[in-house]
């Protein structure tokens, strides 16, 4: 049954930044888009690059390995490719950011 797990503090992830977090035994890329948190699979569908270490521009993250781009709000490829990454629900409780896994 899905459950929300606290992965970091709100202050750990300023607007416009991203990071890799661990929840439910998996690596998840977490993004702060102007105060709204989004989470997708950390593993780029190209060759497995760590998207939490990518560059966030608006709601698009660029993979640090070869530059594939992903929509962090949906997990869709932002370059028109058919690959799609898993997306996770997020919420803020108190000063914590939670991800549903
Ligand atoms: S591994 Fe992400 S673009 Fe190649």
Nearest atom within ligand 1 for CA of residue 67: 3
- Rounded to the nearest integer, the mean pLDDT of the chain is 97
Q: How far apart are CA 10 and CA 95, in angstroms?
A: 5
Check pocket membership of 70 for ligand 1, CB cut-off 6 A: no
pLDDT reading at 14 higher than 90: yes
Q: What is the pLDDT of residue 73?
A: 98
The best mutation among 27, 42, 61, 65 to test binding of ligand 1, ranked by most ligand atoms within 8 Å of the C-beta, falls on: 65
pLDDT reading at 46 higher than 90: yes
Backbone angles phi, psi at 15, to 5 degrees: -55, 135
Q: How do residues 72-90 score in pLDDT, each as one tens digit?
A: 999 999 999 999 999 999 9
Domains and CATH numbers, the chain: 4-100 (2.102.10.10)
């Amino acid at each position: 049954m899905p459950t929300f797990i606290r992965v970091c503090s709100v202050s750990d992830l300023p607007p416009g930044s991203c990071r890799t977090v661990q929840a439910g035994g998996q690596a998840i890329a977490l993004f702060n888009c102007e105060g709204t948190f989004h989470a997708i699979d950390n593993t780029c569908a190209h060759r497995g690059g760590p998207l939490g270490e990518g560059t966030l521009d608006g709601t698009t993250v660029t993979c640090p390995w070869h530059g594939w781009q992903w929509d962090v709000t949906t997990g869709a490829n932002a370059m028109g490719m058919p690959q799609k990454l898993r997306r996770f629900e997020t919420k803020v409780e108190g000063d914590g950011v939670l991800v549903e896994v």
